[in-house]
Each structure stands twice: as structure tokens, then as C-alpha cells.
A and B are shown apart, each in its own frame.
Chain A
Amino acid sequence: MSKIQALTGNYSASYGAALCKPDVIAAYPITPQSSVVEKLAQFSADGEISASMVEVESEHSAMSVVQGAVMAGGRAFTATSAQGLALMYEPYFRMSTLRLPMVMALATREMTSPETVWSGQQDAVSVRDAGWMQVFVENNQEILDMIIQGYKIAEDPNILLPLNVCYDGFYLSHLSERVEIPEQAEVDAFLPPYKSRHAILDPKEPMAVDPLTPGNILIEYRKSHLEAMQEALAKIEEVNKEFADQFGRNYGGAIDTYCMDDAEIAILTIGSMTGTGREAVDEARKKGIKVGLIKVRFLRPFPVERIREALKGVKAWASIDRSVVFGWNSGPVFMETRAAVGNADSTCNFSAIGGLGGADISLDDITGCIETLDKLKTEPGKKDTLWFSKPVE
């Protein structure tokens, strides 16, 4: 029998990780992720998990330790936020390009400067081209569930890529919600053990892991990495279905949709703002606005086909981002969606940006976005970026 508990997002991540029975855990505390590490340390102190805990001095070392552990044949877990992710960028990039699967929880946080410790997705989106898969979740249950699904996707022999489970710092990391914790036996049945074969450090099988590699071979590795990302799109759907069949919770796969069947206009959301987005859609529908919602779950790989399909027949759409793309005057989901749909200028669309540095994305913000879309829906083309900001007094 699964157990129901009120858990913060961070504790949900800890329980999710523990259920996946990692061999080695190495993490360095950082706001707002710290209680993930603390809880796992407590599990270890109480003998509830058998993972070796390596109490590292930095995130750079955290990612290095887990890389070593996976290359020695183990399953590994870590978690971080913002500056920690930036510090670990060097081994982070290497984890994916060595095709070493693992799951890292990311309690997303705004990047400094201005000095901040609060929510935002700038940390995760800034490394979306570092070769990892990235899923953004809406609630605490989804954190736990996606850590379990994450290992299954990451360790598939046709994928072999690490995966970030990204959840909004504070909004999810520190708020408690009802979370169903599955039985260990159920998770064991879903997630088989993993041992690296292609990159292994073992005297029984002497191998130079990552020799110096010239460009003509390197390009083949990159090609295969990109192909694995594309294969992951199908795997994500498959694992989602398998998980839904076994645990009864279906997240829709790479994207989730809400009220999209007859939608004339659509908003795209990412992360915990999706809950507010669903409310805003309900309110707007009461006023007769035919609006739907697309929850972008995976930013990497980007679900091009599914987004294109979901936006078919939609006259106007806007993405809401909790981060920015410097140089494009827009948010990343907007930029990616424009690229994905192909015929972006035949519809009305704009980028909405809000919730940076811990600012709230309110029901009014999203309602305003929907009303603006509704007003502009007959005028195709890209419109000005809508900032959810209030003038500073």
C-alpha cells in the first residue's frame, strides 16, 4: 500500500530519490534545495537508505563524485539550485556528453545578479543546451513521480542521458502538499537496477574512458547524442503510460493539455504556474473565451511535434516564462515554440514574462494575458512582450 503524507517539494524529491535506491548520493546544500540533502542525510543516518553519502565541499565536486560513481557501475543522485548549478557546469556538461544516466533534482532559482535567492527558472533554462533532459513539474507529487520515471527514461539503453527534474524553488520546494509515496516493491517492479556498460572503470574490463578524441569521431558522438534526445521523446510517452498504468497518475507525456479540444487561443505554461493557469482558463471560459492551456513539461528534448499538433487551429497563443532569453526579448518557451510551429506569423503570438526573482505569477497576471490574447487574436504576427511587472514606487 502506498502511503499518503504532506510533503514539501524538497522532501518529495528526497523520498523519490530514496525509492530509486541510488548507490551514491553527493550533494552540497544551497537555498532553496538544502532540505533535499538534509532529508537524505537523515534517511542515511537512520539506516533507511543504503546509499553512500559523500559530503562534498561544492557542487562542482558533487557532480564529479556522481560521475565517478556512475562510471564505477552505480546509480547516483544529486540536487542543486542556481549558483550551485552554475558552479557545477563543467562536470554537468561532461555527465551528459559521456552519456552517463542519472537524475538531478533542481529546485529552480533565479540567477544572481541582482542578488537574489528566490524562485525563477533562469538556472535551468540557461543550461538547456548542455545535453541533459529537463522536465519541469507542476506539483510535489509530480516531483516524486518524475524522479522515478526519470531514471527509467535516462537509463534506457537507447537513451543513456541524465535528466533534471526541475521544480520551482520555494513555490514547490518549501510548500507542503499531499503526496502519495509508493511502496518500495512497486517502484522496484517499475525500475530495474542499472549498471553502466559503455563507460566503466573496472580492472576486470580495462578501458580508457574518454580518450582524446578528434573531430571526425567527436561529431559522431554529438550526432548520436542528438538522436538519443529525439528517441527520448517517444520514451517519455512510453514511460508516462507505463507509469500511469501501474501507479494511476498520468502526466500527459512531454506536454500536458487542458481545454485544448476547441480552443481558439492558448497559453503555454511551464512549472508550478500551470496550476494558476488552469484556474485562469476556467475563469475565462466562464466569460465565453475559448482558451486552452499547454503545459510544457519537457524543455529538453523539446516536444516539437506535440506542440505543433496542440496549436493546430489556434488563432493566438502566448507563452508564460519564469526566465528570459537574453538577445531575443522573450522567454525561452516562446522562442522554442516559435521555432517549433514553423508558421508562427500566421497566428497572433507573444511572450509573457513574470515571476522572476521570486515574484508571484498571480491569477490576475494570467487572466490579463488571456484577455490580451483574446483582444489581439484576429491580428496575426508577433506582438510585444508582456511583462508581469508592477512599476517600482
Chain B
Amino acid sequence: MSYLDVLSESKDLVTPGMSACQGCGGELILRKVLQISGENTIIGIPPGCMAGAGVVGWNFSNGLKIPVHIPLLDNTASLLSGVTAMYQKMGREDVNIIGLAGDGATADCGFQSLSAAAERGEHMLYVCYDNEGYMNTGFQRSSTTFKGSQTSTTPVGKVKKGKKENRKNIPMIMAMHGAAYVATASPGHMKDMVEKIEKGIAASKHGFAYLHIISPCPTGWVSKPECGIDLAKKAVKSNYFPLFEVEEGVWRRTVPNPKPIPVTDFIAGLRKFKHLGEDELAEIQEYVDKNNELLEKLTREVS
């Protein structure tokens, strides 16, 4: 079935009234993940934009049409380890066990439990929607925030100009855990994203599956809400966020990018990078190129 049929024939399991910002990438990712996983799913969504937007419920109401729990910021993967252990014990492996967390809950304080669950090969799909910061609480820096970004904890002032450090490369780190399936995805490449969600769910029946999806954030990145998909495409096209997957230890670039655009084409639309001068932009380009070289080496054999 083509990805368009998959999407048009599946139910939207998220409340229409969720309070995400206009143009939120996270909302789009959540809706697509659940459209594909369907009703036979249990999801854990820790504090962050999606939980804050109300999908984990309010008062006595559910924000989803499936069972949902808001774990702690730092224990999504271990909480779901308990859930999946029970479902395997009950012989109900058909139930999809999914975590959907922001980059803070994934790469920072939640990383210990995530890493351990991946090492144990827990049967679940963990999706990180990476909007490069703690956007729900006012755009603070996380370890996936890109170098140079202006955030509320790495402000631009007279002597400092945004975040000083490069981002932590979580998808590669997760791949090195030997997880059953690891991939990056972008809402700008929907066919690729849908296929990866499907593969991730399939892999979660026998091991740990991890998806790292770039999530344009108009409010935090200070970009136009209607430009989200365009930004998600440019992030891929510039190698700022390359698309690959690692299946049974084999690395594959799912969207080859033989003619990359300069990274400045991507970040031009984002006010969080507006203060950067030529030198800083060159440094970013250099980091992106190096990261891409590494990915090329890892994927060379099959590309």
C-alpha cells in the first residue's frame, strides 16, 4: 500500500482540540505515528510540548483515543520496559508499546533509561521529536540544540552569542547500542517517515526500535508556521539533518543527497541563528560536512 493510502485509510487518534502551536512539527509527528500504529497501542508521552498540549489528558478526559500515560521527564523508556515486560508475559505482543518524547526527555535527563532500555533490547518503539530544545517551558537549551542557537538559557548578549557546543548526535549513539532498528526521519519526507514508522513498529516486536524525527518549531526557532515542512525538507537537503536507517547493523542512507544545499539556505529562515556572523556560519557548515562524511563512511558499503 502506498504511504498516501496508509494515511488516508487510517484513523486520527489524537483529539482535534490539542493546544500545540501553529505549525508544530511534534503534533504532526504524533498524529502520523498513531495513525500508523492504530488503536492497539499504548503510548507514553513524558512532560514536553505534546504532553503540555493536552494529549495526555486533562481532568477526567483523555486527549487520545488510546491508553496514554505521562511518565516522568526522565523515565519513559524504563516505565515502558515494565509495560512491555507485562504484555510479553501475557502473550499480548500484538499491542504496540510506544514512547514519544521530546529531545530533552530523550537526550538529556531521560538518556540513562533510554540507553539501558536499548541495551536490554526492550520490545518497544521510542520516537524522539527533536525540536532542539525545551520548547514547552520557554525554549531552553538541550543537548540536541544546534551550535550557535539562541535559546533562553544560551541568550545572545554582548559577550556570548548563543550555544557554544555542537549537538549530541543521538541517532548515531542509539545505532551504536545495537538496537533492532534506528532511523532518522523528517516530516518533509512523508513517504520515508511513514515507512520508518512501519519498520519501527515491526522491529519493536522483537527488539528496541528508535526513531529520531526533526520537528520544526515555529515558536522556539522563530520561523513562520507555514514554513515548517519547507524547513524540514531544507534540513535534509542541507545535510543539517540527514536521513538514514540502521537495520540489523546495516547503515543505509534512505534519502541520498548528492547535491546538498548550503546550510545557510536552511538556517536563513530561523531567527534563532540570526545573530551569527560569517565565521560562525562557516563553523556550522564545517560541522555539517564532517557529520555527513562520517555518515557516508558508515553507509558506503550499501549506498
Total number of B residues with any Cβ neighbor in A under 8 Å: 45
| Beta-carbon contacts under 8 Å, A171-223 to B | 200-203, 205-214, 217
- B residues within 8 A CB of A217? 59
Given pairs A66-B82, A90-B74, A201-B42, 18 additional interface contacts (CB within 8 A):
A24-B82, A54-B85, A54-B120, A57-B115, A57-B116, A58-B112, A64-B75, A65-B79, A67-B79, A67-B82, A68-B85, A68-B86, A72-B42, A72-B86, A74-B86, A201-B69, A208-B68, A211-B60
| Beta-carbon contacts under 8 Å, B174-200 to A | none
Say yes or no: A69-B67 contact (C-beta < 8 A), given A64-B72, A203-B42. no
Give the docked Cα–Cα distance between A78 and B179 (Å): 27
Contact flags A60-93 to B (C-beta < 8 A → 1, else 0): 1100111111111110100000000000001100
| Beta-carbon contacts under 8 Å, A314-330 to B | none
Indicate if A52 sits at the interface (CB-CB under 8 A): yes
A201 with B83: CB separation less than 8 A: yes
B74 with A69: CB separation less than 8 A: no
Measured between C-beta atoms, what is the minimum distance from B59 to chain A in Å?
A: 6
Find the residue from B66, B79, B112, B115 having the highest chain A CB count within 10 A.
B79
14 CB < 8 A contacts A-B:
A52-B85, A54-B82, A58-B113, A64-B79, A65-B81, A65-B85, A68-B82, A72-B86, A73-B90, A76-B82, A91-B79, A208-B61, A211-B57, A214-B59
Find the residue from A26, A74, A201, A202 having the highest chain B CB count within 10 A.
A201
Across the A-B interface, give the 5 residue pairs with the lowest CB-CB distance, nearest first.
Answer: A211-B57, A68-B82, A208-B57, A72-B86, A61-B78
Measured between C-beta atoms, what is the minimum distance from A219 to chain B in Å?
A: 13
Say yes or no: A69-B85 contact (C-beta < 8 A), given A57-B116, A212-B54. yes
Measured between C-beta atoms, what is the minimum distance from B244 to chain A in Å?
A: 27
A203 with B67: CB separation less than 8 A: yes
- A residues within 8 A CB of B86? 23-24, 52, 68-69, 72-74
Say yes or no: A203-B85 contact (C-beta < 8 A), given A61-B116, A73-B90, A208-B57. no
Indicate if A56 sits at the interface (CB-CB under 8 A): yes
Give the docked Cα–Cα distance between A94 and B72 (Å): 9
B67 with A202: CB separation less than 8 A: yes
A55 with B120: CB separation less than 8 A: yes
Interface residues of A (CB under 8 A from B): 23-24, 26, 52, 54-58, 60-61, 64-74, 76, 90-91, 94, 200-203, 205-214, 217
A203 with B66: CB separation less than 8 A: yes
Say yes or no: A71-B83 contact (C-beta < 8 A), given A23-B89, A52-B89. yes
Give the docked Cα–Cα distance between A217 and B41 (Å): 28
Measured between C-beta atoms, what is the minimum distance from A61 to chain B in Å?
A: 4
Indicate if B87 sits at the interface (CB-CB under 8 A): yes
Say which residue of B65, B78, B83 sits within 8 Å of A206 (CB atoms).
Answer: B65
B89 with A60: CB separation less than 8 A: no
A26 with B39: CB separation less than 8 A: no
Say yes or no: A68-B78 contact (C-beta < 8 A), given A54-B120, A57-B113, A73-B86. yes
Nearest chain-A residue to B39 (Cβ)? A203
Measured between C-beta atoms, what is the minimum distance from B238 to chain A in Å?
A: 36
- B residues within 8 A CB of A57? 112-113, 115-116, 119
